[in-house]
Chains A and B, each alone.
Chain A
Amino acid sequence: EAQVTQNPRYLITVTGKKLTVTCSQNMNHEYMSWYRQDPGLGLRQIYYSMNVEVTDKGDVPEGYKVSRKEKRNFPLILESPSPNQTSLYFCASTESGPPTYEQYFGPGTRLTVT
């Protein structure tokens, strides 16, 4: 079954404690993205990756890092989380070809930073 998986699904942590949210897809897609969703703001892109070892900033990259060492995995790293990073995070994987470039979303990770 084609899917995007994220772990953990829920995480409560404290300010400054490094964490990683994993994302994996089994569709051999080249493009992957991370979004955060906040009430009243919709989804905003944090980082994206167009292929292995190719990543770039989205609209709200501050405080986040990513890596893409393998095509299937795209982890999101918070080196020093702060309360304003409390949010719902989605990883997405995108079909490589035109015309639709349809995005498949993971189940989400709800992060609380205290």
Chain B
Amino acid sequence: ELKVEQNPLFLSMQEGKNYTIYCNYSTTSDRLYWYRQDPGKSLESLFVLLSNGAVKQEGRLMASLDTKARLSTLHITAAVHDLSATYFCAVGRTGANSKLTFGKGITLSVRP
């Protein structure tokens, strides 16, 4: 059974500082997704990582994937209030099945 773990589950961040959050998964997969969710809203796709060593950046967020360690990191540079949200990683199983297995999510709160 594929399991996806995120930690920490809650992170209080100070504006201007850098942080890293983690996503571990238990079995081989060929794609990993990061989503953002604002309170009461749907999921917004941030990144899709497809191969070992993949790195993608958008603004203050940078995601990377290490398939050998079954680990993805989301690095936040100089946190700002607008980044306050819940971030989910999800792992897709190998093959055409569209099923995603989600982690429980990490809630980020940026304080002044």
User: Which residues of A are interface residues toward B (Cβ below 8 A)?
Assistant: 31-33, 35, 40-45, 48, 50, 58, 90, 92, 94, 98-108
Contacts and interface: CB of A to CB of B under 8 A. Distances in A.
Interface in B64-112: 88, 90, 92, 96-105
B104 to A, nearest CB: 4
Give 3 nearest A-B pairs by CB, closest first.
A31-B98, A94-B98, A42-B102
B45 interface: yes
Contacts of B92: 101
A90 B42 contact: yes
Given A101-B31, A105-B43, A107-B42, A42 B104 contact: yes
B50 interface: yes
Interface residues of B, number: 24
A78 B8 CA distance: 35
A106 B41 CA distance: 10
A42 B31 contact: no
B63 interface: no
Contacts of A103: 33, 45, 98, 100
Contacts of B42: 90, 105-108
15 contacts: A31-B98, A32-B98, A33-B98, A33-B99, A40-B9, A40-B104, A42-B88, A43-B88, A48-B99, A90-B43, A92-B98, A99-B31, A101-B92, A102-B48, A105-B42
Interface in B20-62: 30-31, 33, 41-43, 45, 48, 50
Contacts of A48: 97-99
A96 B109 CA distance: 35
A42 B98 contact: no
Contacts of A102: 33, 45, 48
Contacts of B104: 40-42
